[in-house]
Amino acid sequence: QVQVVESGGGLVQPGGSLRLSCTASLKNFNIGTLGWYRQAPGTQRELVASITPGAATNYAGSVKGRFTISRDNTEKAVYLQMNSLKPEDTGVYYCGITILTYTYWGVGTQVTVSS
């Protein structure tokens, strides 16, 4: 059974930093496109950042220059370094791993940015 597990969320003050981690028990992890998504209360889940098997990255405009996504195929992990956090970054952050046409999801980790 595939397991996708996120960690690293928490409460942080505006301007602070957090690093999210996601590990997966996927045989073909290295060919997956990896993404971090977030969902704030009352909103739809949105893509925050993604990284392809070739390490090409893509960011939502609202996080460009503040967030960095990276992957470690040996560890079967994907990370999201979040700097200069803002209250509007608050939400549940989900790791999504897409292989061919199927996306595997974790249960999410809460990030709250508040003073």
Interval 61-73: pLDDT, tens? 999 999 999 999 9
Residue-wise pLDDT tens digits, 6-60: 999 999 999 999 999 999 998 999 999 999 999 998 999 999 999 999 999 999 9
pLDDT at 1 over 90: no
- The reported pLDDT for the residue numbered 6 is 97
DSSP 14-76: TT--EEEEEEE--TTGGGSEEEEEEE-TTS--EEEEEE-TT--EEE-TTTTTTEEEEEETTTT
Stated as kind and residue range, the H or E segment containing 84 is: none
**Closest by CA position to 49, among listed 29, 30, 32, 34:** 34
- The reported pLDDT for the residue numbered 113 is 98
- The reported pLDDT for the residue numbered 13 is 98
Q: What is the DSSP letter of 80?
A: E
Average pLDDT taken over every residue of the chain: 96
